[in-house]
Amino acid sequence: MNEDRAAFTATMADILASWNLPRATGRVYGHLLLASGPVSHDEIRDALELSKGAVSTAVRELVSWGLARTLPQPGSRRLLVEAVGGFEQLLAASHERTRAFVRVLRGGVDLTETDRSRARLGEIADFFEAYVQAGDAMLKRAPDRPQT
């Protein structure tokens, strides 16, 4: 793997790790995004120097998030894996985490000691609520895209 591809997969690992997904899952997703087509578990393992178990777990997680799909091979039990669009699923997961954050912020309003701290808390909650609303509006306006 060349240096730029390695940097991309490492960055993808960091991003997905910030969402509490294993770094290996992020690396596998980054690899799948750069691949020209479906790849085998063995190809992923060799390219990323991961264990069979790490690849298998990563693929299951990516499939469950709607970020990858597996393709059966006729006459074989082996599966190929490919990335799918998945942006909507990623944004939905991010929005849900942000909504939980907003609920905590809103719940803290009665705990504030001053009008100033209450206003600050409200401004932060309003900002993140607007972020989620803007993202939801963007998804509603997005044209249907074919899965890639």
What DSSP string describes 8-74? HHHHHHHHHHTTT--HHHHHHHHHHHHSSS-EEHHHHHHHHT--HHHHHHHHHHHHHTTSEEEEE-T
Confidence of residue 59 (pLDDT cuts 50, 70, 90): very high
47 pLDDT more than 60: yes
Q: Taking the C-alpha atoms of 13, 44, 94 and 63 in order, what is their torsion angle to the nearest 10 degrees?
A: -160
Confidence of residue 148 (pLDDT cuts 50, 70, 90): very low
146 pLDDT more than 50: no
> What is the tens place of the pLDDT at every residue in 63-95?
988 789 999 988 888 899 999 876 776 777 778
